[in-house]
Amino acid sequence: MAKFKIKTKSPASNVPKTTNGKPKEGKKPNKFKFSVKNEDAEIAQLTERYSTVKIEENCSFSDFPLSKKTLQGLTQGQYKKPTAIQRESILPALQGKDILAAAKTGSGKTLAFLIPVFEHLYINRWTRLDGLGALIITPTRELALQIFETVAKIGKLHDFTTGLIIGGQNLKFETKRLHQLNIIICTPGRLLQHMDQNPLFDCTNFKMLVLDEADRCLDMGFETAMNAIIGNLPITRQTLLFSATQTKSVKDLARLNMKDPVYVAPHEKEQYTTPNRLQQNYVVLELGDKLMMLWSFLKAHSKQKIIVFFATCKQVKYFYQIFRKLRPNILLLPLYGGMNQEKRNNIYGEFCTRNNVCLMATDIASRGLDFPKVNWVVQLDCPEDTTQYIHRAGRTARLNTSGESLLVLLPQEEEGVVAMLEKTKVPINKISIDQKQLFSPIVKIQSFLAQSPELKETAKRAFIAYVKSVALMKNKKIFDVAKLDLDSYAKSLGLLVAPRVRFLSKIGIKNVKNVKADVSVTIAEDEEDSEGELFTVKQSDKPVLDQAQSTSDSCPVSTQVHKKKMTKVKILKRSLVTNKKITFEESGDANENHDEDEVYDIEKARAQLRLVDAADKERYKDLRKAKRIAKKEKGKRKADDAEMDEFPSEEDDSVDLNWLPDPDKVYKNGDHTETGMKEQVPKKKRKIIEKIDDITLTEAEQLAMNLLL
Ligand code: ADP
Ligand code: MG
């Protein structure tokens, strides 16, 4: 897929084309002259109609004063009738007015701003030599890519050069070609990089600025970049802002030099702010039940197309890795900011084309993306506000199609979130989950974690990232980190104990439930379009002497602070704990593993293995005895020592072995696969058991898990 596209304009490109875009046969120079004349006449006609044309409710695109090239592009793309937002915003945009447009998710906003962009450049006879004419800014790379694809589809008969400028691509390649572009579709960070570093970047002739998902582009996360970009653009220009949750902030409009914009909101008077055919439900769950619920949900909807939203990248990473190991009956695809761009593009493309698939994503997938035929959107972690909710849920039920959305809430989140949604005119029903439909994969997850320290580390990071994300939320009435049942959340992820969240001690909260504390921190940067972990926290003035060995669960933090001053050496001596594992995260934070329970207890495992070993020996002894008796009774040939391990063959029905102990009981685990006399105890396993004292820790762990499960 082309990520950077330039349609070079040769003289031949001005030759009239047939409907399939190929030049007509014949004398080119004459046709060329004819074409220029034709174009002039067309442009004159079109501009005249801008002020006279009347747009009716049931109109089609051909009723608009649009160029033939645009109309043909629309016809080829199977677009006949405009949607409400297109009907109401295209004409004022053609007239050169600034537009502030708000319309529901999936209502066709992309074409509503692309058509005026094409037309504006066309009637101004824009060529490659005129340089940059229009900028379309979006908050995420995937959305920029999607818009670029729409431009390629609808604008292919025009001769403008269009470029996709997003992070994660070849900067040099972009730099060399940037000055040739007429339309740039970009994310704010990358555009600013070019503005700052690229001497070829020139916007003297610039005419149109479009912000898709405008409220997001203008919010705190992109504030610095957007202010710098706006500062570099000529003041005289046309500005179009589009979003489902539009900004009405006068400050934002002033930042953009928008004076008297036309406000277009075709759905404002409707009963609901979300698409009419979007069925919205919520369910209230304990934190520790979320993983089980999602697993059961995927099992029950394996033939559908689903998007699951998580609060952080690290949760997506862990849930994806562990669910993939559990082998669900559905293709899983992860999408989050920390992935490299090529992977992101591939996953985006694959999710578009597949039907039975689940995309596990952060909010980089929540804005604007028009994935076809999504049946379900699940918000596993509570959205920050209604805006985030509306955009996530809006990935389904796009443009008159139906879809379902499920919001998962913790008991403490329910009241606040439901009230918030009702206030914003979002219709949502409470549903409960049939307990019989729930399947817990926890035993398998624990065994995977016991076998893979890397996976365990990923689980810990997911845990910590989620807790941090809750602590960083602004709305403290809904998001109360102290009310999280961290122990059961850790267990649900397969961890034996809750990892210590150093971040919590920094901001004055113990890593336990029911501690009341006032947390006030700020989010400095957003997750979208920044790589890796993006939360940064204001340094707390509070002493960070968190005592992990705290005894009381509900003891406030203040009682944990040492009153007596200690020297560095004393602190070091005190904090030296044997068997303590410290791993360093990419951020440089040390992650200390103090808790002995968290380390797999090898002594315990050995004792269990000895038990199993003894039971095995006992059983084999009985089996050998049975064989001897059988042979004696039959008066057959002498027993061969080498064959003593072998069980009688299946055909040997003369031996009654019903008296033998039930192997499941011996193993105290119903999952053991040996049944009666049909299966033999593998020699390999026996050998390992006999050599139990020689094996390594990892081998012992694996063996224990294999035997115990
Ligand atoms: P929004 O930006 O409002 O969320 P999009 O621009 O992504 O919505 O459009 C949603 C879907 O509707 C896309 O698949 C798009 O191709 C389709 N669409 C847009 N306009 C029309 C139209 N006039 N007729 C038919 N389909 C349309
Ligand atoms: Mg859109």
Least confident of 103-107, 545-549, 629-633: 545-549
% of the chain beyond a pLDDT of 90? 60
Q: Which ligand is nearest to the CA of 150?
A: 1
What are residue 358's DSSP bridge partners?
306, 332
**Phi, psi angle pair for 206, to nearest 5°:** -50, 140
Identify whether the C-beta of residue 598 lies closer than 8 Å to the C-beta of residue 609: no
As a whole number of Å, the end-to-end CA separation of the chain is: 47
Whether residue 108 has its Cβ less than 6 Å from ligand 1: yes
Identify whether the C-beta of residue 527 lies closer than 8 Å to the C-beta of residue 313: yes
Tens-digit pLDDT profile for residues 10-69: 333 333 333 343 444 444 445 555 566 788 999 999 999 999 999 999 999 999 999 999
Task: Give the C-alpha separation, 1 to 409, whole Å.
Answer: 39
Helix, strand, coil % over all residues of the chain, rounded to 5: 45, 10, 45
Least confident of 318-322, 398-402, 442-446, 545-549: 545-549
Q: Confidence class of residue 608 from pLDDT cuts 50, 70 and 90?
A: low
Instruction: From residue 138, give the alpha-carbon distance in Å to each of 1, 398, 445.
Output: 20, 19, 39
Task: Give the C-alpha separation, 411 to 413, whole Å.
Answer: 5
Task: Give the C-alpha separation, 686 to 268, whole Å.
Answer: 73
- Residue closest by Cα to atom 4 of ligand 1: 106
Task: Give the C-alpha separation, 450 to 699, whole Å.
Answer: 11
**Phi, psi angle pair for 222, to nearest 5°:** -110, 10
Task: Give the C-alpha separation, 422 to 62, whole Å.
Answer: 40
pTM equals 0.72
Determine the pLDDT at residue 693.
47
Instruction: From residue 210, give the alpha-carbon distance in Å to each of 116, 237, 579.
Output: 10, 11, 58
Average pLDDT for residues 431-443, to the nearest whole number? 91
> According to the 3-state scheme, what is the secondary structure of 672-707?
CCCCCCCCCCCHHHHHHHHCHHHCCHHHHHHHHHHH
Least confident of 115-129, 325-339, 588-602, 691-705: 588-602
CA-based nearest residue to 188, from 207, 206, 214: 214
Which of 62, 76, 89, 111, when mutated, tests ligand 1's pocket best, judged by the most ligand atoms within 8 Å of its CB?
111
Determine the pLDDT at residue 167.
86
Q: Confidence class of residue 615 from pLDDT cuts 50, 70 and 90?
A: low
CA-based nearest residue to 523, from 143, 219, 316, 140: 219
Average pLDDT for residues 470-495, to the nearest whole number? 95
Determine the pLDDT at residue 503.
74
Q: Which ligand is nearest to the CA of 108?
A: 1
Whether residue 245 has its Cβ less than 6 Å from ligand 1: no
Average pLDDT for residues 192-211, to the nearest whole number? 94
Tens-digit pLDDT profile for residues 497-552: 999 988 777 776 666 554 333 333 323 223 343 322 222 222 233 222 222 223 22
Determine the pLDDT at residue 695.
53
- What separation in Å is there between the alpha carbon of 111 and the centre of ligand 1? 7
- Residue closest by Cα to atom 9 of ligand 1: 108
Q: What are the domain boundaries of the chain?
A: 4-13+38-264, 278-437, 446-573, 663-708
344 in helix, strand or coil? helix
CA-based nearest residue to 476, from 518, 414, 506: 518
Atom of ligand 1 nearest to the CA of 372: 14
Whether residue 334 has its Cβ less than 6 Å from ligand 1: no
CA-based nearest residue to 306, from 323, 322, 289, 284: 323
Average pLDDT for residues 233-245, to the nearest whole number? 96
Atom of ligand 1 nearest to the CA of 81: 23
Other C-beta atoms closer than 10 Å to the C-beta of 322 total 23
- What separation in Å is there between the alpha carbon of 394 and the centre of ligand 1? 13
Instruction: Please tell me which residue, 194 or 435, carries the higher pLDDT value.
Output: 194
Atom of ligand 1 nearest to the CA of 77: 16
Task: Give the C-alpha separation, 577 to 481, whole Å.
Answer: 29
Listed ranges 162-176, 456-470, 557-571, 591-605; the one with the highest mean pLDDT: 456-470
What are residue 407's DSSP bridge partners?
282, 379
Instruction: Please tell me which residue, 40 or 625, carries the higher pLDDT value.
Output: 40
Whether residue 391 has its Cβ less than 6 Å from ligand 1: no
Instruction: Please tell me which residue, 473 or 602, carries the higher pLDDT value.
Output: 473
Q: Is there a common fold for 4-13+38-264 and 278-437?
A: yes
What are residue 210's DSSP bridge partners?
136, 240
Task: Give the C-alpha separation, 593 to 599, whole Å.
Answer: 8
Instruction: From residue 558, give the alpha-carbon distance in Å to each of 277, 483, 513, 662.
Output: 52, 18, 16, 57
- Residue closest by Cα to atom 27 of ligand 1: 108
Q: Which ligand is nearest to the CA of 112?
A: 1
Whether residue 83 has its Cβ less than 6 Å from ligand 1: yes
Q: Is the pLDDT of residue 220 over 50?
A: yes
Q: Which ligand is nearest to the CA of 81?
A: 1
Instruction: From residue 704, give the alpha-carbon distance in Å to each of 493, 606, 696.
Output: 20, 8, 12
Average pLDDT for residues 195-217, to the nearest whole number? 95
4-13+38-264 CATH, one of 2.60.40.10, 3.40.50.300, 3.40.50.261, 3.40.718.10: 3.40.50.300
Task: Give the C-alpha separation, 46 to 223, whole Å.
Answer: 38
User: Can you list the positions of beta strands (E) in 285-356?
Assistant: 305-309, 331-335
- Residue closest by Cα to atom 15 of ligand 1: 108
Whether residue 107 has its Cβ less than 6 Å from ligand 1: yes
Q: Is the pLDDT of residue 658 over 60?
A: no
Determine the pLDDT at residue 524.
29
User: Can you list the positions of beta strands (E) in 231-292?
Assistant: 238-243, 262-264, 278-284
> According to the 3-state scheme, what is the secondary structure of 371-427?
CCCCCEEEECCCCCCHHHHHHHHCCCCCCCCCEEEEEEECHHHHHHHHHHHHHCCCC
Average pLDDT for residues 162-175, to the nearest whole number? 89
Listed ranges 35-39, 326-330, 543-547, 590-594; the one with the highest mean pLDDT: 326-330
Least confident of 236-250, 465-479, 678-692: 678-692
What are residue 607's DSSP bridge partners?
none
Least confident of 44-48, 168-172, 253-257, 314-318: 168-172
Average pLDDT for residues 181-202, to the nearest whole number? 94
CA-based nearest residue to 464, from 365, 585, 320, 309: 585
Task: Give the C-alpha separation, 670 to 693, whole Å.
Answer: 27
214 burial type by CB count under 10 A (0-12 exposed, 13-18 middle, 19+ buried): buried
Q: Is the pLDDT of residue 429 over 80?
A: yes
Identify whether the C-beta of residue 508 lies closer than 8 Å to the C-beta of residue 494: no
Longest dimension (CA), the chain: 113
CA-based nearest residue to 682, from 602, 615, 620, 631: 620
Instruction: From residue 469, give the alpha-carbon distance in Å to each of 200, 312, 510.
Output: 41, 7, 16
CA-based nearest residue to 275, from 154, 106, 60, 501: 106
Task: Give the C-alpha separation, 188 to 141, whole Å.
Answer: 10
What are residue 405's DSSP bridge partners?
280, 377
Least confident of 131-135, 469-473, 533-537, 571-575: 533-537
Other C-beta atoms closer than 10 Å to the C-beta of 41 total 10
The DSSP string of 265-281 is: -TTTTSS-SS-TTEEEE
Q: Is the pLDDT of residue 350 over 80?
A: yes
- What separation in Å is there between the alpha carbon of 109 and the centre of ligand 1? 7
Whether residue 398 has its Cβ less than 6 Å from ligand 1: yes
Atom of ligand 1 nearest to the CA of 83: 23
Q: Which residues are within 8 A (CB) of 341 and not within 5 positions of it... i.e. 6 or more apart?
A: 141, 166, 167, 168, 169
Determine the pLDDT at residue 411.
97
Average pLDDT, the chain: 78
Identify whether the C-beta of residue 372 lies closer than 8 Å to the C-beta of residue 320: no
Instruction: Name the token pair of 667.
Output: 């193993």
Instruction: From residue 494, give the alpha-carbon distance in Å to each of 118, 441, 451, 488, 578.
Output: 54, 9, 12, 10, 25
In CATH terms, the superfamily for domain 278-437 is: P-loop containing nucleotide triphosphate hydrolases (3.40.50.300)
Determine the pLDDT at residue 200.
87
Q: Is the pLDDT of residue 76 over 90?
A: yes
- What separation in Å is there between the alpha carbon of 239 and the centre of ligand 1? 21
Determine the pLDDT at residue 247.
86
